[in-house]
Structure 1
Amino acid sequence: MKPEVLQVLLVEDNLGDAELLQELLEEATGSEFEVKAAIRLSDALTHLSENNYEAILLDLSLPDSQGLDTLVRVQEVADRQPIIVLTGLNDEEIAVRTVRQGAQDYLIKGQLNGVLLGRAIRYAIERKRVEMAMRYALDQEREMRELKSRFVSTISHELRSPLTTIFASADLLHKFSSRLNECKKGEMHQQIKAAAQRMNQLLDDVLTIWKAESAEQPLIPVLMDLKQFCRDLVEECHIQLEDLQSSHRGESDRTIVFVSDCSSCPACVDRNLLRQILSNLLSNAIKYSPQGGTVRLELNCDGSNAIFRIKDEGIGIPESDLDKLFSTFYRASNAGGIYGTGLGLAIVKKAVELHGGAIAVSSEIGVGSTFTVTLPLSPTFLGNASRTVEEKS
């Protein structure tokens, strides 16, 4: 069997030592080593940014860096590669400090031969792989704990609030039904209905996320005109917006506009998932624009993709929240006073990914946010499509 070839970066300013180490690696058995040499830390950092090495042999005393600081600076750009420190000093204290800092090994140059050096590199690579696997597992466990915590917190809070409304309204109707006029009874029945719908929507969102996470969400693409679909959706949003503004008098007016440079835009997409994508984004744009303003839905086609942009003039999203914005049950830090579960954008991202598309966001506090969704137009781009149905006219 042909031995594996391992790419090694040797950082050593003593040319004699560098030549000797390369000769030792040529004598090593079990693996072949391709060595790239650097005599300065700056050169090493450049090599690490441009190439992927399996291991790094590092002398701590270089012309432009000395001691443990050399190791730290290399780790900053190569935290996934094993680093083996090479030194001419047989100092146990420094050796312990070096390993504590994260080096995989500490080798004395004068005590090496080809077999020992080759074995040390292979063992360091394997230890680093185990370390990275353990780090990944710990990260996954931590994320799962955080997700469970957010799930329990969100579900308990979002279910308790509508349940309180239902219990209070039902209790009032039971105790004071004879004293309430029909208009007041109608308002209470409407409050109960709205609270129940809110709970039902929350459970639907949780089920949608669960199906997407467990790969049980089918993709059923149909041939449809995206431009007409957007027109119809915006018209539905206008009706909902009028109801919202009539029930919350005193709030600033919001408007929704749809613009497109396409005469028509036929595409093969999942109608229900597309509705979830655009409805969630438009709903958020309205909800997070308490001071009013215009919400724009833009549709453009570039030949192979449909590009949707949803722009608002709302409160914006802090830059520190953007990386986690599409995580399940995560809400932006400035959204505390506005109702939400942290599920909408997670659902949007899953629906976009099922189509083989992409979503991006840009935002500025106090100015507004823009969400850009790119979906392929052709069914040949849909890797997970279960079946394709041509929509009836």
Structure 2
Amino acid sequence: MMNQQLVSILLVEDNLGDAFFLQQILKESQISKFQVSHFDYLAKAISHLENATCDVILLDLLLPDSQGLETLLNIQQKAANIPIVILTGMNDEKLAMEAVRKGAQDYLIKGQVTTEILTQSIRYGIERKIIQKELKKRTEQLEKTNQELKKKTEELEAVNKELKAFSYTVSHDLRNPLSNFKGVLFLWVEKYKEQFDTQDRQWFDIMNRSCDRMNQLIQDLMLFSHVEKQKTYLSDVDLSVLANQIIQQLEMKYPNQKVEAIVESNIIAVADENLVYIALENLLNNAVKYSQKQEKVIIEVGSFFNPDSQELENNRGEEISQKQLVYFVADNGVGFDMKDADKLFIPFERLHSKNEFEGTGIGLATVQRIIKRHGGKIWANSEVGKGSTFYFTIPNSSQTLAIEN
């Protein structure tokens, strides 16, 4: 880097013979060219630095107006970013170590200096100073980043407090008036139902369904917010058993729908049973709900280790290791366009209108939170009119099974 550059040297040396000798040594260098400004007093050198700069300072510690380490400390006040190489006749190891601790780039003994030694010392001093400057810059950037992160953390803590207050409001201040409204609505209908005409019944149905939808929305919001706060208790969970239980409940929920469920046996996960039940319930409910237009709903629940030679990649471009166990829930429903896949797990985002399929748009966001709580990932693959498959991982399960196998 320096070979083609003219290196500016500030030589602070009161002995004219030594100064001449050092300048002659520098002239003999074959790899660098040096321009030397020589001063015999420290005060003159410091005055020079007020109006000019240099690449490196060669400093004698014993000067007419300054002695010892004070010489180094005094000039550093004007040359904080300039490498300083001490050139002295004092062969004092203790002094040399202390000088380096105080910021000198090197400590050379005059009688031992050669062209090669001095040139290398100058080059290394400049390069070390550049590295130190860069490290300082990066440290300052890191400190700034840490301060920003601290500020963001404080902001997030404030938001979390607001969310807790919001959750309380949702569970009490909203749910209670809604329950009162529905109760009064029921009493009003009981009292006047004999006088209802067709339009009155339609209005009642609209109000009743709106109350139910609002109540479901409140429940989903509460569940969504509580997932993050709920403690996890990990154990071996048989997802096959949970899936079959949920499917039985769904068959009662959709009595007019033919459901064929293919559930792999002994799908074990190391997970929180309550949370993973909620996740499976949402995924399986969606599988049935979005397959209702089919003559028969076909659901498959299973797991696999990626058998391909390459790593499996989810729809976000994140790689899933071959050793990672992947669980899946598949259906033969309406599917969706994969260009909309990023919207799947965003609260209140819906890929189908509520007139086509009921729902609040919070279920999959809740599932994602649960999977993330377990350190896993979730993604989907689908094609319009050809069903959907949701994949998810739970890392602890893979590690356990890998050890067992």
TM-score normalised per structure 1: 0.47
Greater RCO structure (CA 8 Å; 6+ sep): 1
Which of 1 and 2 has greater Rg?
Answer: 2
